[in-house]
Amino acid sequence: MKIIVDQDKCVASGQCVTAAADVFDQRDEDGVVVLLTDNPSEDLSADVHQAAAVCPALAIVVED
Amino acid sequence: MSVPVYPMTRATGCPFDPPPQLRDLQGEAPLVKVRVFDRTAWMVTRYADQRKLLADRRLSSDVGKPGYPNSVARPVQSDEDTGIGFILMDDPEHSRLRRMVTAPFMIKRVEAMRPQVQEIVDNLIDDMLAGPKPVDLVTAFALPVPSLVICRLLGVPYEDHDFFQQNSKTLIRTSASIEERTEARNNIGRYLNELMGAKLANPEDDLLSGLAERVKAGELTRRDAAGIGVLLLIAGHETTANMIALGTLALLEHPDQLAVLRESEDPKLVAGAVEELLRYLNITHNGRRRAVLEDIEFAGEVLKAGDGVIFPNDLGNRDADAFPDPDRLDVSRDARHHIAFGFGVHQCLGQPLARMELQVVYGTLYRRIPALRRAVGLDEIPFKHDGAVYGVYSLPVTW
Ligand code: SF4
């Protein structure tokens, strides 16, 4: 599983952090998404896909 | 065939479901024409299509664009007081302004506020339990919780809450006259502009002072700063308060679901129940609005430049393709992909805060007052059919 985030698209809604806090974080100044790991363990797969699905800005792409 | 008028009225006796006429349109086609105020507009009826189009940059949130489908005449704004707030702007200006205020709504920052919110909630419940009953849940609890929180976060004196609650109520009441709404808009605008002046002179540790710093640094006009303040103050008041009162009523009407919530110690279940109630209730029940900037082919139709488009989120969230058995309130279902906060770049900025407040409320109120119940008949409860935000004007409860 490989994750790509687009920080320019992100609107800092924090949905990804709620869905998968081990994988996504938010930048202190403005809440823009920060990827903690771009290749997380498989057991986080469901959470990561959930994060991509709920991201309102379509800023998260997951490649399996 | 005649074009139906939007928004539509809900069925009597069914306070939580979207209007039946609206549901019928969902069955009819993915795109239908409706009449609003002074024009016809497209309505997107289905969940998946709403998500797709709300993320489409060829649709504009700029209320000044040709075709923007208002349901009522917009209040006239006094130019010298405040800007319009980024909700009615497009990128890049929208995201430039929005990013200036996102930090306090980050998950980490919001979580750090949880103990304070818990204290606010506990204190208000203590007062309720110590006072006379029945009591109106709206004035005793549902409105004070988010008001105290947003005032603290913005740096607005809570003592002034009667003033801005009255004005914000008028502003979002669609049955108010254009003069009344204009006056209310300008009252709040003037208030925020003056407060911004005070923060410029004496900055404190709050969101408005942060904006004042940016005004000083030349990154933001004072007018835009005050406009953002108006937006956050109103949004912070009206939405969460209605989710607390209407959500409580919905749970009282579904005792089996209330029992599931009350008897669980699992914060995940409480968080899930919050999502389900957001999906089920859809308090922003007059739809998201957009104007088409360039022709879009969609579902066999062409949305032309200058057309208006409406996205009723209450319909999307009751789409059986996205949520099986959609009219059933089921606090144990996974409803996290609902669109009660909207979708796309304008999705609600305050949602982490709203979620946390609602989690604290739903996880505390029914457990501390297990015998909580309606003090009047359901037919005696005044619903906000005429509001841009749906809910109840009052909810007398006892225990
Ligand atoms: S869910 Fe999307 S928009 Fe929200 S913080 Fe994460 S990447 Fe940004």
Least confident span in B137-146, B183-192, B291-300, B362-371: B183-192
Place of tokens 């792409």: A61
| ipTM score | 0.91
B95 CB neighbours in chain A (<8 A) are 11
Across the interface, whether the CB atoms of A12 and B349 are under 8 A apart is answered yes
> For the domain that residue A11 is a member of, what is the CATH number?
3.30.70.20
> Closest to A30 (Cβ–Cβ): which among B102, B108, B336?
B102
- How is chain B split into domains, by residue range? 20-398
pLDDT digits (tens, 9 = 90+) for B304-313: 999 999 999 9
Residue-wise pLDDT tens digits, A10-64: 999 999 999 999 999 999 988 999 999 988 999 999 999 999 999 999 999 999 8
Separation of alpha carbons B54 and B183, rounded Å: 32
* Number of structural domains chain A divides into: 1
Q: How many percent of chain B have pLDDT more than 90? A: 68
- Report the pLDDT averaged over residues B142-154: 95
- Domain enclosing residue A14, as ranges: 2-63
pLDDT in tens, B257-275: 999 999 988 999 999 999 9
Residue contact B352–A58, C-beta within 8 A: no
**Residue with CA closest to ligand 1 atom 6:** A16
Inspect the interface and report whether the beta carbons of B347 and A57 lie closer than 8 Å: yes
**Model pLDDT for residues B11-54, shown as the tens digit of each residue:** 877 799 999 999 999 989 999 999 998 889 999 999 999 999 99
Q: Does domain B20-398 have CATH number 1.10.630.10?
A: yes
Average pLDDT, chain B: 91
- Interface subset of B 62-101, CB within 8 angstroms of A: 95, 98-100
CA dist list (Å): A45 to A2, A12, A49, B301, B322: 10, 22, 6, 37, 21
**Which candidate in A17, A22, A26 is best for mutational testing of the B interface (most B CBs within 10 A)?**
A26
Q: Is the pLDDT of residue B82 over 80?
A: no
pLDDT at B80 over 60: no
Question: Read out DSSP for A1-63?
Answer: -EEEE-TTT-----HHHHH-TTTEEE-TTT--EEES-SS--GGGHHHHHHHHHH-TT--EEEE
* Total-model pTM: 0.93
